[in-house]
Chain A
C-alpha cells in the first residue's frame, strides 16, 4: 500500500481491517458497529467482509460489552470494543476497572486480557449532553490499563494495530471532532512504539504538551506564536499511561518552560500529574511553574457554550505568555 492522504476515521478503519486480516482471533464488537458501520462509520464495511461472528452488533449494554469481551479474551480472542460515545462508558466502568484492569494481576500473571476499548471522545461537535466528554484520566489512574490517544491518521492506523497486539488491556481514545481531519499515512512506514511521545514541532521558547484533539489546536497556536516571534515546541504525548516522560523532560530541559493542554478539566487531570513529575525531574531547569490549560471544573456545558469552555488557540497563547512572563 502506498502513502496517501486519509482521515483519522478511515485510518482507524484500515488499522482494524489489517489487524483482522493478520489475526483471525481479532473481533470487533459494540453498538451499531456491524451493519451501520458505527455511528462515526469507523467500522464501515468490516461486518460485510469479516462476517457477523467477527463484527458483532451487541445488545445495548456497555457493561455487557466489556464483560463478555473479557470472557472472549479468556477463551483466546482479541476483542476490540467500541464504546459509542465517551459519556456512555460509565456503565462499563466497573467491568473495566475491577475486572479488565485487575484480572491479570489477580491471576498472578496466568491470565492475559488482550482487550481493546475504543472510545470516541472530546467535544467541539455541537452535541447534546454526554457526547463530548474527556474521561481519560479515570482510566489513566487505574493500574493494569494502558491508555493511548491519537491525533493524526498515521498514529490512528498504527496505534490501533499496536493496541490490538498488546497482551495488556488498552484503552484507545479517539478524538471524535478530528475524525475527518486529513493527514499523511504511509502504511509501510516504521511506526513509533505505542507508548512513545513525539515532538510534533520543534521550538526553543516554551514546550507545549498536548494529546488527542488538542494537538491540532496547539500546532495552530505555535504557528500563530511564530508570527509574534515566539518559538513553541509541541509534544504530542500519544500515550497517557504509561507517560513517556523522557521525551517531555528532554524538551523541557531545552525550553525550560512547560504548558500542558487538554480538554478534560484541569483538576486532577493528566496535566496535574505531568506538572508534578516534570517539576520533580526538571526543578533546576524550570524558569516558570508548569501551567495547565484545560476544561473548567464543570459538567460539560450546553453546546452553545462549548467554544467558551474548550481550550482554544487564544487560551493556549495566554498560558504561553504567562509562562514567558516569569
Chain B
C-alpha cells in the first residue's frame, strides 16, 4: 500500500527552513534568532575537532575491515552535528549517547581507543561515565532518552537549575536518531521531560536513514514539529553546519539550565557511510543522493571559510593533518594491543553485592578451566586439533 503524501514537488512535503550560519560554500550568513561570534581560535578549534574525529572514525572502519573490530558504526557526515553540540556543553552537563557518538565522546575527553573496546568485544563500554559526564553507549534504540530525562529530574531535585551560577546550573543532553523518534521510550521521555519541565535537550541527528528505512517510514511531519505536541520548542538546524549546531544547542542548553525546560533539536544531516560495517546501503539507496550530500560536507565549508578569510593557512591545515595521523596511529596501535579479557572476569560485576549463584558458577568455571591447563590442553590446542581433523 502506498500512503499518499500531500505537499511539495515530487509528492514530498515542503521542507521547512533550517537554521544555518555557514553555507555549504563556506559563506557566513546571519539568522534572526541565532547568532554566533567565533574567534579565529575557536573556528580553528572546530576545524581541528572535525578533522580528528573523522580520522579516528576512518581508522576504526579500517580496523574493522582488517578483522580487529567486530563492528563499527561510522559517524561519517555527522561530525558537525556532534562536535557543534558537544562543544556547547559545560563540564557539569551530562551526556547520554547512542552507539554512534564518537565525536561527542571526543569532546568529552574520552580517549577514542576506549570507544573501541565495545566494538572489539573486549568489554561492553570501557570508560567511567562519571569521569567524563558521558554515559555508556546505549544500543537499544531510544532507551537512553528516558535515562537522560530521569537524570535531569535528579538535577532538578539537587537544585542545580535556575540558580544563575554558571558553574552549578546543569543541563542534560540525549542523543538519538531519526528512527529512534518512533520508539515508545522516546515519546515517553518527551512526556516525562515536559510535565517535569526537566533540564534536558533532545538532540536528534536526523541522518535520513534508520538502517534501510528512510524518514518517510518513520514520520509524516518534520521531526522537530513533534515537540509542539508535547509542549516544548523544537527546531531544525543544518546538522552539517558546526556553527549553527553550536549556536542552537548552546541556546537550548542555556534554556534548560535556566529552568525553562526541554528543547528538541533536529540536526538535519546525512549518514554518508553504511549504517555499520555489516550493512550494504547499495541495496536501498541511490548513489546520487550520497553525491548530493557530499556537496554539503561539514568540514569542507569550515576549511573554505578559514582559508578565504585568512584565519588559517596551509601550515595550519598541514599541522592538523599531521596530528590526525598521530592520533590514528595511537588508535591503531592501542587497539592491536588490547588484550582479550581473562575468561573468569566475565563473572565480575553482574552484581555489586555478593551473589551465591554467581559465586558458585564462577568457582565451577575456574576449576573447569584450570583442568585444561593442568592437562596441558588449552583451548587453542583443542582448536588446532579440531582443525587438523578437518
A174-231 interface (Cβ within 8 A of B): 195
Decide if A71 touches B149 in the complex (CB within 8 Å): yes
Q: For the complex, what is the distance from the CA of A75 to the CA of B153, rounded to whole Å?
A: 9
Decide if B191 touches A68 in the complex (CB within 8 Å): no
Tell whether B265 is near chain A: CB-to-CB under 8 Å.
no
Chain A residues in 8 Å Cβ range of B136: 103, 106-107, 111
Residue of A nearest to B147 (CB): A71
Q: On chain A, which size bracket covers the interface?
A: 35 or more
Chain B residues in 8 Å Cβ range of A66: 146
Residue of B nearest to A64 (CB): B188
Decide if B353 touches A75 in the complex (CB within 8 Å): no
Q: For the complex, what is the distance from the CA of A105 to the CA of B147, rounded to whole Å?
A: 17
Tell whether A94 is near chain B: CB-to-CB under 8 Å.
yes
Decide if A63 touches B352 in the complex (CB within 8 Å): no
How far is the CB of A88 from the nearest CB of chain B, in Å?
A: 14
How far is the CB of B155 from the nearest CB of chain A, in Å?
A: 7
Chain B residues in 8 Å Cβ range of A168: 351-353
Chain B residues in 8 Å Cβ range of A296: none
Given contacts A59-B191, A94-B140, A110-B129, contact A67 B150 (CB under 8 A): yes
A72-118 interface (Cβ within 8 A of B): 72-77, 91, 94-95, 98-99, 103-112
Tell whether A20 is near chain B: CB-to-CB under 8 Å.
no
Decide if A72 touches B140 in the complex (CB within 8 Å): no
Chain B residues in 8 Å Cβ range of A195: 356
Tell whether B283 is near chain A: CB-to-CB under 8 Å.
no
Tell whether A128 is near chain B: CB-to-CB under 8 Å.
no
Given contacts A61-B188, A105-B350, contact A99 B143 (CB under 8 A): yes
Decide if A105 touches B349 in the complex (CB within 8 Å): yes
Query: Given A73, A109, A111, A242, which contacts B356 in the complex, CB threshold below 8 Å?
Result: A242
Query: Given B138, B147, B188, which contacts A59 in the complex, CB threshold below 8 Å?
Result: B188
Decide if A95 touches B125 in the complex (CB within 8 Å): no
Q: For the complex, what is the distance from the CA of A27 to the CA of B156, rounded to whole Å?
A: 13
Decide if B143 touches A95 in the complex (CB within 8 Å): yes
B101-131 interface (Cβ within 8 A of A): 123-126, 128-130
Interface CB pairs A-B, < 8 A, 28: A53-B156, A63-B146, A64-B149, A64-B189, A64-B192, A67-B143, A67-B145, A68-B146, A70-B146, A71-B149, A71-B150, A71-B153, A75-B153, A75-B154, A75-B158, A76-B154, A91-B184, A94-B185, A99-B147, A108-B123, A108-B348, A109-B348, A110-B128, A111-B129, A166-B353, A168-B353, A242-B356, A243-B357
Which A residues lie at the B interface, using CB under 8 A?
A: 27, 53, 58-59, 61, 63-64, 66-77, 91, 94-95, 98-99, 103-112, 143-144, 146, 166-168, 195, 241-243, 245
Beyond the given pairs A27-B157, A61-B191, A70-B146, 9 more chain A to chain B contacts, judged by CB atoms under 8 angstroms and listed by A's residue number, are: A64-B189, A64-B192, A67-B143, A70-B147, A71-B147, A75-B153, A104-B350, A108-B126, A109-B348
